[in-house]
Structure 1
């Protein structure tokens, strides 16, 4: 997920398109909006001359989408000067990349807006408590608002991101570490947090069969057909290898996934 507040949309579009061309159309960019974290501290280095004028609203996303979708960025069309040919749009242009952009939204407004723009929606383990304090029901409402506003309707792509840690092949020490990590974060899931009333989903830790059952009982999980399992930042390389191996060998198949799907 790339916070656009740190980026120039035109330059980012060039970088994404270049990587997409080189990778054969495999890039699925994730983006979000809002001022950079600790903006007052980083503004002198990030935007020394334009800090007060930078627009961190949805307009920054529109600019990026326009560049990725091949909209002109200069007036007057392409032109030739001597032996040089200058395009009026971002180059390279990678057809289809603009339709593979994912927007990280956490409110009804942002979910509906993402749908109107034809974006894909990445809904995560953090949502804004608006009409309910039940995490699953809040997430369901956002998914439905997104698809109601999207040109593709029910076929619009939604990915659910949750922290999921299968423990099937974990050592006793690893299990204790994973369970302690989840327990330390559990209190924040019991009620909305902070002025923005953010709701957090509990981390799912346990054997793959048990995790699969909890996911299949999750109201929002039943609304979507794509998942993005998030990994904690503080684990060791061996932990990640064990978790990813169990996801591929056990949890994925328990949820209906196969390697060639």
Structure 2
């Protein structure tokens, strides 16, 4: 059995060929798709966070709205770039959104990825400390955020406050109990997967990672998951961790599916330079009739090793079509693989 959800990048473009032509379209349709996915029996509604782009960017108002409109489905991010975040403000926003959602947030964080602009985090008022890289800064922000989610008091109260205070040092409010255990780290390498385990975070692994061995993507990703589990066990955490992987999977069920995706083109892994220092491998997509998809997916070692599968959806094709894709996988693919 696996939890199955969708992951939306929330693209929008002012084009007559797009069903999401404005930022408002993307935000409102994301809420509608979360509602539709819950009705279909999906387990999660996740959104990407990209700054300076015509995509979803500010997750907490959206997650709160999704939480108010749904009752069961998990609501998450994949991922929040921590280089841009004030951990204290983020802890307040996350606590509020989680309380509205009844404790259903699953927040994926990361140290960041290639951006639309040069050093965009500087425009948000952040800069690495001396001797620190921007990635180090992102991890430092994440560690502060995790500590705040423990809910321990740390701020000295005013002796003459406007309103009465509880005794002792004060914590940020609102605090949502249990959110600390629902934080994930978006890892692009084996080393950062180990670091995430040491920090007590769940693991998110997408369709992109460092090419560390030259093996097929799903084999390298499965090795990353094993490294995470080994490090988790060594760290001695009391609870069991969760692991998610992302995939583009499109069952060809009707003429629309064949028109949009029937020509294929992404059935092989791709290798390229993520930046001047990093060779990356991009995982293949899966597009075929359901019976063929089942056979292809049986061989994906990383999906087998994960407890959660996030389906990347073509959000610019609209809510109805994305719901159709999710339904097709839940009904025609997942049961045959034992995921349902």
What is the TM-score with the length of structure 1 in the denominator? Answer: 0.83
**2:163 corresponds to which of 83, 101, 104:** 83
Equivalent residue for 1:178? 261
What's the offset of the Cα at 1:162?
0.9
SS at match of 1:130: coil
Measure, in 1, the Cα distance between the counterparts of 2:301 and 2:239.
Answer: 16
**2:138 corresponds to which of 37, 57, 63:** 57
Equivalent residue for 1:69? 150
Counterparts of residues 7-156 of structure 1 (less than 5 Å): 7-34=85-112, 37-40=115-118, 42=120, 45-47=123-125, 50-51=126-127, 53=129, 56-74=137-155, 76=156, 81=161, 83-85=163-165, 88-150=170-232, 151-152=236-237, 155-156=240-241
Measure, in 2, the Cα distance between the counterparts of 1:71 and 1:112.
Answer: 26
What's the offset of the Cα at 1:251?
2.2
2:194–2:228 contact (8 Å) kept in structure 1: yes
Q: Structure 1: any 5+ residue segments left out of the alignment?
A: none
What's the offset of the Cα at 1:197?
0.9
Equivalent residue for 2:82? 4
What's the offset of the Cα at 1:57?
3.2
Equivalent residue for 1:163? 248
What is the TM-score with the length of structure 2 in the denominator? Answer: 0.65
What's the offset of the Cα at 1:216?
1.9
1:163–1:232 contact (8 Å) kept in structure 2: no
What's the offset of the Cα at 1:79?
6.7
2:244–2:306 contact (8 Å) kept in structure 1: yes
How many aligned positions are there?
250
* 1:125-180 deviation digits (Å, cap 9, x = unpaired): 11111133321221112101111111359942111111111222x32x43132134
SS at match of 1:66: helix
SS at match of 1:29: strand
Compare relative contact order (CA 8 Å, sep 6+) and give the higher one, 1 or 2.
2
Equivalent residue for 1:191? 271
SS at match of 1:114: helix
Measure, in 1, the Cα distance between the counterparts of 2:249 and 2:90.
Answer: 30
What's the offset of the Cα at 1:192?
4.1
Measure, in 2, the Cα distance between the counterparts of 1:186 and 1:257.
Answer: 22
Measure, in 1, the Cα distance between the counterparts of 2:95 and 2:322.
Answer: 30
Measure, in 1, the Cα distance between the counterparts of 2:325 and 2:238.
Answer: 34
What's the offset of the Cα at 1:10?
1.1
Distance 1:232 1:73, change over 3 A: farther
SS at match of 2:175: coil
SS at match of 2:137: coil
Distance 1:152 1:83, change over 3 A: closer
